[in-house]
Structure 1
């Protein structure tokens, strides 16, 4: 993205969706990607399967090679009906809400062990899941004018863990990202007894610590309903905290009554759809991150 384009985007963050109205998630549609549409797309190698990812192009998107847009890439939560989480990419909301629909929004799959479908719980085939991201992110940037230097990885619940577990799996995939945003959970903070990757906790945390080293000096925004102190305690001493922003979220201040028409549980990915001081802080984080990039480009 040009310096002028980034400045215009920053100005847009200050005004867009500031009416107090709830952001409306774009409905999934059939057909090719286009401005304002969210559609399912599959890599050629998965044509004979149901494996796919979701792509949303913002309302102001045009097929103009002289323009580019930041990209938000998302991993979804597990299938967890008690919290209203279906495990399906079609029901994701975090990436759209965090960016107010102004970025290209890509929701990536966890490829099932047989490589025939999207896994609704945990990682599926880890190598296939990692490889899918390695292919899709550069292709989206190339084909739909995504800015490869402004690609943010986010996730909710399972997806929050995946930001590091998948997104920092190896050096190649780690290089795709400009910054990282997690909500509710974080890789390595607690063990997962029912899995072969998250238990015993000592081994899991040792592996998570190696993944953390791949963040380098890139910015990280960690959001957590109820507070981030446990995550901060885990990270302290493992990586420098200078580039990490912690955002403690009181979900009841956003939704005084739960369940409601939007969420059925405090553990949810829909809170950024509603205007709140927390969403303002997220916008400020993006604004500062992109402004620093403008400054770096100008120097």
Structure 2
């Protein structure tokens, strides 16, 4: 039995992170003894006193509730993390759900009084009033799984971070609906983000558009098998005409082909013919991925855990490991190694980079959380006793030896312990990390031999010679390129001009390495942030296709 098959289990375990190591509220792993925000009497949770902040729900309990459960109505939120103020670090709490109710299971060892903190994505929202979606800045109307109203037997919103889907769809009479407002009438492309397990494809489904009177139109389509219910792919299924005003969209089964229909994470209605000469701002495009938290726990599919290789101080030196949702011990997986940008970084557009392992998202965006191990590696100081947020090593020497040693050991442990394929390791970096892909990744023959391919986003080694670290000059960068050989590099950048632009990188490489296996692409966004990869775009689609092509096994 596959315990991670959503058809078989709806129970998920949430592990409490170490309070000492994870005290940043923005990560959703704050001290569970924090102030509990504003009272929220609208959410009935039995004997618990409920309150909320802009990213969490709190349940205050004076004594153990009946059956050891906190029961409450389903919310319109992805659940990131559940913790208890009186539980030891790494204590596991469980969240279970059915179509209308959620329950938090309290362990027998928990002492009272206690505070339960359920971290969620976005402001906590009750399901009692239908959520009405409005157009995003790019004109698209985004209908997310968390806002679906479900009908019928078993169909439900599955809130765990690695699912985030309308799923458990085994009843052909069940259906889901979304409410939204159209501001500009016209024709819209209907796109569905769906997943479907092996052998379960082929069901006939229809997107049905309604107004206050009744059905207006429908777009039928056939469910595509994707190999796993959490392997989500975007499908363009047709077009619909919509007038301004309030609408409802239903997703209904016309014919069930096998045991289960599919999982659906998001539906996008994109206006036809919308053209802009301006690069997009990330704020105008709704994400289709929610980053998982970094926790101290045992690895499992869909969980991102903090680790330290043997011989290093685990309090100050660490990396992050994420096993894909389809992970199995007996199968080898490509490894996407992510290197972060410098931090703390802020710009006038609101782009943020903390320079830490915790805040990395590039690997998640590249893989979608499926089909590849995501490993975020740190840069260490000269002595190798601490992660650093800016560059690598310690100024002015910026030594790389300890960083490279840590990388080598982490790669060995990941491949040996978690089925990483040493022949398919892809090095990916943003900003500082993009520079480091060549500066450190090709620094010597030993480390250069580890990589199968490279992804460089925003900045490239040798294009600008005034970086503060040694060997930033053009001649040294060209010498490092000699170790690249015929291996592929996907090189992308935000839209812009100047010495750090994609054009400048192309000109540099055409001059110094004209036979290189390079693919260049603009992200389509003006932001200097790895979070564009959490959003659908032509560049991300191209990047995922490139990755598949370059990591296929013989």
TM interval, short-chain normalised: 0.7 to 0.9
Which of 235, 240, 246 does residue 514 from structure 2 map onto?
240
Aligned-residue offset at 1:132: 1.1
- What is the match of residue 231 of structure 1? 505
Q: Using the alignment, how far apart are the partners of 2:537 and 2:503 within structure 1? A: 21
Which of 474, 477, 487 does residue 208 from structure 1 map onto?
477
Moved over 3 A (4+): none
Deviations 1:23-56 (A, max 9, x none): 1111111112111111111112113651111111
- What is the match of residue 322 of structure 2? 56
Tell which has more relative contact order, 1 or 2 (C-alpha 8 A, sep 6+): 1
Q: Using the alignment, how far apart are the partners of 1:250 and 1:225 within structure 2? A: 7
CA, structure 1 residues 284+48, in 2 after alignment: closer, same or farther (shift >3 Å)?
A: closer
Answer yes or no: is 1:173 the counterpart of 2:447.
yes
Deviations 1:147-166 (A, max 9, x none): 11111000000000010111
Q: Using the alignment, how far apart are the partners of 1:185 and 1:48 within structure 2? A: 31
Q: Choose between structure 1 and 2: higher strand proportion.
A: 2
- What is the match of residue 342 of structure 2? 78
- What is the match of residue 258 of structure 1? none
Aligned-residue offset at 1:250: 2.3
Q: Do the aligned residues in 1 keep the contact of 2:428 with 2:437 (CA within 8 Å)? A: yes
Answer yes or no: is 1:93 the counterpart of 2:357.
no
Which of 326, 332, 354 does residue 68 from structure 1 map onto?
332
Residue 153 of structure 1: SS of its match in structure 2? strand
Query: Any stretches of 5+ residues in structure 2 without a counterpart?
Result: 1-197, 199-225, 235-265, 269-286, 394-398, 496-500
Q: Using the alignment, how far apart are the partners of 1:38 and 1:241 within structure 2? A: 38
Q: Do the aligned residues in 2 keep the contact of 1:160 with 1:182 (CA within 8 Å)? A: yes
Q: Using the alignment, how far apart are the partners of 2:408 and 2:539 within structure 1? A: 31
Q: Using the alignment, how far apart are the partners of 1:44 and 1:196 within structure 2? A: 28
CA, structure 1 residues 272+196, in 2 after alignment: closer, same or farther (shift >3 Å)?
A: closer
Query: Any stretches of 5+ residues in structure 1 without a counterpart?
Result: 1-7, 253-265
Identify the range of structure 1 (241-250 vs 97-106) with the bigger mean alpha-carbon deviation: 241-250
Aligned-residue offset at 1:16: 2.1
Q: Do the aligned residues in 2 keep the contact of 1:68 with 1:145 (CA within 8 Å)? A: yes
Identify the range of structure 1 (41-50 vs 182-191) with the bigger mean alpha-carbon deviation: 41-50
Q: Using the alignment, how far apart are the partners of 1:30 and 1:277 within structure 2? A: 35
With the length of structure 2 as denominator, give the TM-score of the two structures.
0.46
CA, structure 1 residues 174+198, in 2 after alignment: closer, same or farther (shift >3 Å)?
A: closer
With the length of structure 1 as denominator, give the TM-score of the two structures.
0.82
Aligned-residue offset at 1:88: 0.6
Q: Using the alignment, how far apart are the partners of 2:227 and 2:475 within structure 1? A: 42
CA, structure 1 residues 171+34, in 2 after alignment: closer, same or farther (shift >3 Å)?
A: same
Which has the higher Rg, Structure 1 or Structure 2?
Answer: 2
CA, structure 1 residues 40+48, in 2 after alignment: closer, same or farther (shift >3 Å)?
A: closer
Residue 482 of structure 2: SS of its match in structure 1? helix
Residue 456 of structure 2: SS of its match in structure 1? strand
Answer yes or no: is 1:27 the counterpart of 2:293.
yes
Q: Using the alignment, how far apart are the partners of 1:57 and 1:273 within structure 2? A: 18
- What is the match of residue 310 of structure 2? 44
1:178-197 counterparts in 2 under 5 A? Answer: 178-193=452-467, 195-197=468-470
- What is the match of residue 255 of structure 1? none
Aligned-residue offset at 1:241: 4.0
Q: Using the alignment, how far apart are the partners of 2:465 and 2:443 within structure 1? A: 18
Aligned-residue offset at 1:196: 4.0
Answer yes or no: is 1:273 the counterpart of 2:539.
no
Q: Do the aligned residues in 2 keep the contact of 1:36 with 1:56 (CA within 8 Å)? A: yes
Please provide the CA RMSD for this pair.
2.1
Q: Using the alignment, how far apart are the partners of 1:177 and 1:210 within structure 2? A: 17
Aligned-residue offset at 1:285: 0.8
Q: Using the alignment, how far apart are the partners of 1:150 and 1:136 within structure 2? A: 15
Q: Do the aligned residues in 1 keep the contact of 2:434 with 2:457 (CA within 8 Å)? A: yes
Aligned-residue offset at 1:112: 1.3
Q: Using the alignment, how far apart are the partners of 1:160 and 1:120 within structure 2? A: 15
